[in-house]
Amino acid sequence: RKKVTLNTLNNLYKKGEPITMLTAHDYPSGLFVEKGGVDTCLVGDSLGMVTLGYNSTNPVTMDDMIRHCQAVCRGAKSPFIVCDMPFGSYEASIEDAVRNAVRLIAEGNAEAVKLEGGKEMAETIKAITKVGIPVLGHIGLTPQRQSSLGGFRVQGKTMKDAKYLLEDALALQEAGCYGIVLEAMPKEVASFITSQLNILTIGIGAGNGCSGQVLVQQDMLGAFDKFVPKFCKVYADISSIAVNAVKNYTADVKSRKFPDDEKNCYKMKSGEDKKLQ
């Protein structure tokens, strides 16, 4: 596959061709993104929930993101790689934010970073883009702020809230974001925001009027046990395929059907085995 760059994404946006984004958290999920022809891969901090098993994304560290981003990059060679800035890595100061964004690129191998928040993050985003790191914004349902949002809740349901979202989107564009993730908001709101911008939008739970779509890979593969968001389409039932395979393995070992003498075993050189008697 041909390497996807920021130019490729901007060309898709200009042509009006939907951009595909999917998360990956390790080498195998990175390979799936590569082989499935996805344009841009998000090493999301959903890592914390669907891969590390935490109840939120908040415990995820910079070291977690760097290690997992490196693994994804070994599998996903063609997609444009975006890495999430984890909770706590960019809020306290602009210096922190720039230093940590640089680490995700220099150590993690990412090509762009994503961070959550609206106009209050504009100065931070300006500083990161100034050192040559592309930034993807993220507004609407911002999971790192779930405590103050009162949980994982749909945003922008009233005209007043929709207006705030539009103001945030315009501030992020002005700050230099190359695109914005719009998460969990009515389709009309996301479509309107998209129409008011001249940078691409990537929707998740935001309807079919965005410039592209993103899903969490474990959610769409049916590999996460705790919940499936309403907006997610589930394309496979990986969990039951895996559990059935494990059950078959367990039964085979218990009944000595596995390992098979012919298929799964090494043999001594001919005649040598006799000497063991």
Can you give the binding site for ligand KIV, defined by CB under 6 A?
Answer: 23, 42, 44-46, 84, 181, 183, 204, 214, 216
Q: Is 111 in the site for Na ion (CB under 5 A)?
A: no
Total residues binding Na ion (CB under 5 A): 3
Crossing angle of helices 27-35/62-75, nearest 10°? 40
Q: Report the distance separating Cα 194 and Cα 217, nearest Å.
A: 24
Q: How far is CA 38 from the centre of its chain?
A: 12
Nearer to ligand KIV, 46 or 124 (CB): 46
Determine whether 107 is an active site residue.
Answer: no
Quote the CA–CA distance of 23 and 33 in Å, as a whole number. 8
* Burial tier of 256 (Cβ tally within 10 Å: 0-12, 13-18, 19+): exposed
Q: How far is the CB of 52 from ligand KIV (least distance, A)?
A: 12
* Active-site choice (17, 167, 183, 188): 183
To the nearest 10 degrees (0 to 180), the angle between helices 94-106 and 122-130 is: 40
Neighbour count for residue 163 (Cβ, 10 Å) = 12
Nearer to ligand KIV, 40 or 263 (CB): 40
Residue 220 to residue 49: CA distance in whole angstroms: 15
Q: Which stretch binds Na ion (CB under 5 A): 16-24, 80-88, 156-164, 216-224?
A: 80-88
Q: How far is the CB of 52 from Na ion (least distance, A)?
A: 13
Q: Which of 21, 29, 44, 142 binds Na ion (CB under 5 A)?
A: 44
Task: Choose which of 34, 84, 111, 183 interacts with Na ion (CB under 5 A).
Answer: 84
**Which residue minimizes CB distance to ligand KIV?**
44
Site string for Na ion, 120-149 (x = CB under 5 A): ------------------------------
Q: Which two tokens stand for residue 116?
A: 């959550």
Residue number, 7 or 148, with CB nearest to Na ion: 148
Q: Which is nearer to ligand KIV, 34 or 45 (CB)?
A: 45
**111 contacts which partner out of ligand KIV, Na ion, none, CB within 5 to 8 A by kind?**
none
Q: Which partner, ligand KIV, Na ion, none, binds residue 181 by CB below 5 to 8 Å per kind?
A: ligand KIV
Nearest to 112 by CA among 134, 80, 131, 96: 134
- The whole-angstrom separation of Cα 6 and Cα 100 is 21
Rule CB under 5 A: say whether 45 interacts with Na ion: yes
Beta strands in 39-162 (DSSP E): 40-43, 80-84, 112-114, 135-140
- Please state, in angstroms and rounded to a whole number, the distance separating the CA atoms of residues 90 and 81: 19
**The entry of ligand KIV, Na ion, none that residue 82 binds, CB within 5 to 8 Å by partner kind:** none
Q: What is the C-alpha to C-alpha distance for residues 243 and 240, in angstroms, rounded to an integer?
A: 5
Position 39 contacts Na ion (CB under 5 A): no
The residue ranges that bind Na ion (CB under 5 A) are 44-45, 84
Catalytic residues: 183
